[in-house]
Amino acid sequence: MTSLARALSHTTLSQLDQSDAFQSQSSMYRMCASSRRRISASQGVDSMDVSLSAEARVLVINTGGTIGMMYHNDVLSPEPNALVKALRKLPILHDELYAQQTRLYEYYDSPENTLVLALSKQNKRIVYTVLEYSPLLDSCNMTTEDWATIAKDIEKYYEKYDGFVILHGTDTMAYTASALSFMCEHLGKPVILTGSQVPIYEMTNDGRDNLLGALLIAGQFFIPEVCLYFHHKLFRGNRVTKVDAGSFDAFISPNLAPLANAEVDIKINWDTVWRANTTAKFRVNTQMNRNVGLLRLFPGITADTVRAFLQPPMEGIVLETYGSGNAPDNRADLLDEFRKANERGVIMVNCTQCLRGAVTATYATGKALSDAGLVPGGDMTPEAALSKLSYILARKDLNTEEKKKDLEAIRDALTPTLACAAAKIGDVEALEAIKEMGGNLCMENYDGRTPLHIAACEGHLKVVQYLLSQGATVYAKDHFGNTPLLNAVRFRHKDVVKLLRKIGGHLSRDEMEGAGNKFCSLVVNADLEGLEIWHLAGADLTMPSYNGQRAIDVAMQMVNSSSFQLFRKQRRRALMMSGKEEEREKEEKQKKEEEEKDMSALLMRSPKRIAYTGEATRCRPAVPGELSAEFHQRARVTLPHPAAVRAKSHLQRIAIIRS
C-alpha cells in the first residue's frame, strides 16, 4: 500500500469480494444511509437525513494526457470515455458500496461520471465528478485557446465545487499551470494540475497516486492557488518545471520548496502558501497574446538571428541568458538590436538558463542588458515568464511602461512568501538572491509576519543578523501584536534575544500583559531557563499576577534558590542603573552586622550545643536585627557547636530574601 493510500480510511476496500467483510461494511453503510442526507419526496425517493461525515466536492477536468491513454498500433493515444470506467474498478479511487447504500447517484448531478473516495483521516468523503473534454488532447497540442477553455470551466463551476483537479499531459503542464495562475484572478479555492508518466491502466503506473493525492488535497485543504501535484509533492504552479522524461519524479520547483508533501500524512507548509491581500471576487481573464517567444542565447549567436526573431508581429520575448542574467557586453551589434526592439515597444524579460538561481546585476555583462531595456525576471522559470508576458501583453488598458511595471509586480507579490520560506529554513543565500533581484526583505506575509519574525522563531542567528543588516526592524508587529523579540523569547533562543536587545529591541506593554502569571508558573515549575530568557529580554520579573502575587513571593514559598539568585541579579542591575549600588551595599552590611549580633546572643544562651530544625524560613524576624519568638522555640540543643555556622548561613539567606 502506498503512503497516500494510508492517508485514507481504515476500511479495507480491496477485500470487498470477501463475504464477511462485505456484510460488516453493508451493515455500517445501512446505518449511515439512514442519517446521510435529506432528499425531497419530489425526487421520488424516501426521505433521508444529512450525513454526519462531511462530503467535499471536487471537479476533475480531463483534458487528456498520458494518464488516460491506451496503446493503439503500438503507440499511445488518448482514449475517450475510458477513464471513468477504469476508475470505478479501482477501490482506492471509488467506493461503490458507499455510493449505492447512500444513494449518491440520486443526489449529485452527472451520476454516470460521479465517484467517491473512501473516508479519509480528516473524516471527509471526497465526491468527484469527471468532466471530460472532446477531443482529448496530447499536451503537445495544447494552445492558449485551450488554456482559456479550462479557465472558463473553472469560472463556470466555481461556486458548485470546493476544489478543482485538472488532468493534463506532462510535456506542457508547467506552461498551463503558469498560465492559469495568472488567468485565475483572486482565486480562493485550490486548482491542482496532475497527470502521469505511465497510463493509469498499466499495472505499474504513477497515475493512481497522483490522482489520489490531488483529490485529497483539493477536497480537504483550502490552498487558494493554482498548483501542480506530482510524485507526492505539491508545487506552486508558476514555480515548477519538468526535468525528467523517464522518471516518476518528473517535476521540481528549483527556487521554492513544495507547498505540501504527501507522506504517511499530508503535510502542508502553510508559511509558503499564498494568501490574497484583497477581498475582490474571483474572475478569469482569458485574453492571452500569442505574439511572444523564447530566445535562448548561445555562444556565437548572430545579430541577424536576433533581429529576425524580434521583428513584428513579435511583441514580447523571454531571453534566456547565461548565469545570473548575463550576455556578451562586447557585442555591440546584439545590444543594438535589443535597444531597437525596446524602442519599438517590444517587452523583453531576462531569465537565466540555469535551473536554480536568479537574474541579478552583479556583473557588467548583466547590467548591459538592463541598460538595453530588458526587464529582470528574477528567479522566474521561462514557462512562468512566457505565460506572464502573454497575459500582460493582452491587457489593452495598459501602456508599455505600465505593462513593464505589472510584469515586475509578480516579483514583489511573491517576495514576502519566498523570503519567509528562506528565513524559516535558514537560507541566507536565498535571501541575498531575493535582495539582489530587488525584493523587499521587510515585506509582511498574509498574517503580518516579516522574515525577521520567522527567523527569530526558528532561532537562525545568521539570518537574523543578515536581515538586520538589510534594514529589517525589530519593532515590526504582526497581526497578533507580536514582535520578533517576543517570538525569540517564546522559543527560547538566547543568542537571538541578546542580539535583538543589543540593537534596541524591547517588549511592548501589550506583550507584557499577563506576564506576571507566566513568571509565577515558571517559578512553580523550577524553570530557571524560562525565567532567564525573560530576564535577558528586559522583562520586569516583579510584575504581579492576576491575584497580586509576584514571582519572587512564589519563589520564597518554594525555597527555590536558583530563582532567588536571578531575582537578586535583576535587583542589583536595577540599583546600579539608578545609582543606588552604594546605598544597597551599605544597607546589606548593616543587616549583616545586626544578624551577627543576633547570632552571638543565641550562642551565649547555648554555648555548648545548638540544633537547627530546618524550619526557620517560616520564622522571619518581625523587625530587622530581632529574632522571632517562634524561631527560639524551634531551636533546641541537640547538635555540636559547629552547627551554629549553618544557622548563621541560613539567617544570611533570610536576609537575602528580605532584600
- Known catalytic residue at 272: no
Distance CA 447, CA 443 (A): 11
| Residue reference for cell 555548648 | 608
Distance CA 274, CA 416 (A): 9
Distance of CA 229 to the CA centre of its chain: 17
Stretch (H or E) spanning 432:
helix 428-436
- How many residues comprise the chain? 659
Is there a binding annotation on residue 304? no
Distance CA 176, CA 563 (A): 62
Q: How many CB atoms lie within 10 A of CB 223?
A: 25
Helix (H, G, I), strand (E, B) or coil at 400: helix
List beta partners, residue 226.
191
Distance CA 629, CA 631 (A): 5
Distance CA 269, CA 616 (A): 57
- Dmax of the chain from CA atoms? 116
Distance CA 474, CA 487 (A): 11
Distance CA 48, CA 35 (A): 6
Strand 260-262 to strand 233-236: parallel, antiparallel, or no bridges (unpaired)?
antiparallel
Stretch (H or E) spanning 517:
helix 515-524
Cell of 186: 483572486
Q: How many CB atoms lie within 10 A of CB 40?
A: 8
Distance CA 597, CA 139 (A): 97
List beta partners, residue 257.
none
Distance CA 470, CA 458 (A): 19
Q: How many CB atoms lie within 10 A of CB 536?
A: 16
Residues 6+ apart with CB under 8 A from 624: 591, 594
Question: Pseudo-torsion of CA 575, 576, 582, 588, nearest 10°?
Answer: 50
Looking at residue 295, its amino acid is L
Is there a binding annotation on residue 170? yes
Q: Find the catalytic residue in 11, 170, 172, 176.
A: 170
Task: With beta carbons less than 8 A apart as the criterion, state whether 251 and 230 touch.
Answer: yes
Burial of 154 (0-12, 13-18, 19+ CB in 10 A): buried
Is there a binding annotation on residue 34? no
Task: With beta carbons less than 8 A apart as the criterion, state whether 8 and 121 touch.
Answer: yes
Distance CA 63, CA 146 (A): 9
Nearest alpha carbon to residue 70 among 223, 201, 258: 201
Distance CA 305, CA 579 (A): 79
Task: With beta carbons less than 8 A apart as the criterion, state whether 389 and 292 touch.
Answer: yes
Cell of 18: 470477501
Looking at residue 236, its amino acid is R
Detail the residues annotated as belonging to a binding site. Answer: 139, 170-171
Detail the residues annotated as belonging to a binding site for substrate. Answer: 139, 170-171
Catalytic residues: 170
